[in-house]
Amino acid sequence: MHIAMSTIEQEHSDSRVMRDLWDVVSQFRNRIAAALFFLILAKVAVVSVPLVLKRIVDELSRPEQVLVLPVALLAGYAILRFCSTLFNELRDLVFSRVTQHAVATYALKVFSHLHELSARFHAQRRIGGLLPDIDRGTSGIAFLLSVGLFTIVPTLLEIIMVISIMTARYSDWYTTILGVTFILYCGFTLVFTARRTIYQRRVNKLDSNAKSLLADSLINYDTVKYFTNEKEEARRFQGIMVNWAEAVVANQKALFILHVGQSAVIALGVASVMLLAGKDVMSRAMTVGDLILINAYVIQICLPLNALGFVYREAKDALVNAEKLFQLLREKPEIHDPPGMPALQVTHGEVAFENINFAYEPERPILHNVSFRIPPGGRVAIVGGSGSGKSTLARLLLRFYDVGSGSVKVDGQDVRAVSAKSLREAIGVVPQETLLFNDTIAYNIGYGREGATMEQIIAASKAAHIHDLIDSLPQKYETPVGERGVKLSGGEKQRIALARAILKNPPLLIFDEATSALDTASEQAIQQELDTLAENRTTLVIAHRLSTVVDATEIIVLDRGRVVERGTHARLLQQAGMYARLWQLQQRAEDSEKMEKEMLA
């Protein structure tokens, strides 16, 4: 029962894929019609070739009656062969725009859709496995539209035309043998291709796992080196590749059985037809030309049958390959703005978190009834231990996730009631870890504002105190930063993030532990620029080092997702609670660091 349901579900999935494809290519109806017209002309030419060849053989088989060489027939034979090639090429030329448009459209749809999916999806996905799924999916679409469509349809057309001619000119036995051959071939192909699809899915899954592990290992190259785990990484990769190789061999065995069985069916059909044709020639019921015609038609049917089997098998593989891509497109964004959502109107810049409860997973709550307000132009700092929920508050303000209960408001507007785009346009973020695009410094700074001029980029760099460094580089602002900005130091990347935020010039700011990854000297230098940027802007500061938030309007102390203390720096020290203990620990650590530096000096 389970197998039957799986088959029904698979057929439903395949039909949905084909409907989706038609929705994309249907705008090219004229090109599709023209391609089908050339296809029919090509097949008419192909089917006519054996008829002309039979006439030529019959004419030349009676030299005593031939007074003139059948030049017209010989020329017609050559022209028909040329026309079959010409019309096929015209078909491909006309249809190529349809195929490439579909591939480009789906690549763009997936690219855009991935950016629309929620932070939860991207936190769970593995980029190394995602990319091959997309690549195989677009390749499968190209196959289904081009080779698949223009092999299955013309093959069926050719078989119908040939069987019609054979039925009209020769004994019904020929039609019967060809019909039985066709039925046996199709039945065998359908059954064994369905079995082989199981192996193909396993190969695809293991291939995605291998590429995912490869990408993950290379991304964490430094970590592998830190722990000298090159052999362990190789062992893990080998384990997947051994299973992949076994799956490929099993897939090849299934393919072997399929190919041999198909060839056996075709050989049996050809032998039966040719034995019958030879018998009719010997009994003078047919001419040698008829024998050649039948032989040509049998080959014309059997070769397309073989091609049909190949295309059906490859089409099933293409559908399997496209499954992941279409499943990805059907993934629903967790945060979705319905049409007509109003834009956020920032008038004063007040931010309010009201009775917030939130959990990434239902069984593991993160925030419990958290409430606080950031006044217009004020600066509120969130401090606490790791896992206390500090960064989660920033994600909720950016609406990467929706609250479980309660509300986040900007100037009285619930962030769920305004478009996410307008909300994020109003917020500038300087994160703890700045990940840069593998492009130039200018591109990465200019990313803060679409269409920013070079003068604006330079002005933002000067405000972030990184212009002099960039100007000293050989390529200046055209200097490549490397993948994830690996060619720059932590302080340089942080200043680029700061310049990007300055260029954006938003009314609201989030500093998410913006200096925690830096040394003390770099932290103090960048902190001054952060303070300048935050002037007259409503700012939420997620802080690890308490020395960076002593001037905050209010400090919120979180512990396990709950507000345990709140107040100014001085007031919290007077309370001698959790904040005071954290402050003393950090002060001791900083004092020890200073003493070590003095001793080394």
Per-residue model confidence as pLDDT tens digits over 392-405: 898 899 888 888 88
* Residue pLDDT, tens place only, 46-76: 777 777 777 776 666 665 555 455 667 777 7
* 593 vs 444, more confident: 444
Beta-carbon-side half-sphere exposure of residue 133 (alpha carbons within 13 Å): 21
Confidence at 357, pLDDT banded by 50, 70, 90 = very high
- Cα–Cα dist 302/267, whole Å: 9
For residue 228, count CB atoms less than 10 angstroms from its CB and return exposed for 0-12, middle for 13-18, buried for 19 or more: exposed
CA 366 to centroid of chain Cα atoms: 31
Q: Is residue 3 pLDDT above 70, yes or no?
A: no
Confidence at 303, pLDDT banded by 50, 70, 90 = low
- Cα–Cα dist 595/601, whole Å: 10
> What H or E segment, with its residue span, contains residue 331?
none
**pLDDT value of position 2:** 38
Report yes or no: 334 and 215 within 8 Å, Cβ to Cβ: no
Q: Is residue 306 pLDDT above 90, yes or no?
A: no
Percent of the chain scored above 70 by pLDDT?
83
* Residue pLDDT, tens place only, 493-511: 888 888 888 888 889 988 8
For residue 60, count CB atoms less than 10 angstroms from its CB and return exposed for 0-12, middle for 13-18, buried for 19 or more: middle
- Cα–Cα dist 321/10, whole Å: 13
* Residue pLDDT, tens place only, 547-590: 888 888 899 999 888 999 899 989 989 988 888 888 888 787 76
Task: Spell out where 290-443 has E strands.
Answer: 351-361, 364-374, 379-384, 405-410, 413-414, 427-430
Confidence at 540, pLDDT banded by 50, 70, 90 = very high
Using alpha carbons only, give the angle 22, 25, 31 rounded to the nearest 5 degrees.
Answer: 125
Lowest mean pLDDT among 285-289, 343-347, 350-354, 560-564: 285-289
Mean pLDDT of 477-500: 83
| Long-range contact pairs involving 107-112 (C-beta distance under 8 Å, separation at least 24) | 107/134, 107/138, 109/329, 110/134, 110/137, 110/138, 110/325, 110/328, 110/329
**pLDDT value of position 18:** 67
Confidence at 124, pLDDT banded by 50, 70, 90 = low
Q: What share of the chain is helix, strand, coil (3-state, %, to 5)?
A: 70, 10, 20
Query: What is the pLDDT of the chain when averaged over all its residues?
Result: 79
**pLDDT value of position 61:** 65
CA dist 538 → 141, 411, 413, 465 (Å)? 49, 11, 15, 22
For residue 412, count CB atoms less than 10 angstroms from its CB and return exposed for 0-12, middle for 13-18, buried for 19 or more: exposed
Report yes or no: 501 and 509 within 8 Å, Cβ to Cβ: yes
Q: Is residue 361 pLDDT above 80, yes or no?
A: yes
Confidence at 15, pLDDT banded by 50, 70, 90 = low
- The CA dihedral of 310, 312, 317, 318, to the nearest 10 degrees, is 110
- Cα–Cα dist 383/565, whole Å: 10
In terms of DSSP bridges, do strands 508-512 and 413-414 run parallel, antiparallel, or are they unpaired? unpaired
* 142 vs 261, more confident: 261
Report yes or no: 586 and 547 within 8 Å, Cβ to Cβ: yes
**pLDDT value of position 582:** 86
Q: Look up residue 140 and give its amino acid.
A: G
CA dist 187 → 6, 192, 309, 385 (Å)? 20, 9, 11, 66
Q: Tokens representing 77?
A: 């034979």
* pTM of model > 0.75: no
Confidence at 375, pLDDT banded by 50, 70, 90 = very high
Percent of the chain scored above 90 by pLDDT?
8
CA dist 232 → 128, 157, 209, 228 (Å)? 19, 56, 16, 9
* 114 vs 125, more confident: 114
Domains of the chain: 17-329 (1.20.1560.10), 344-426+510-601 (3.40.50.300), 436-505 (3.40.50.300)
Confidence at 490, pLDDT banded by 50, 70, 90 = confident
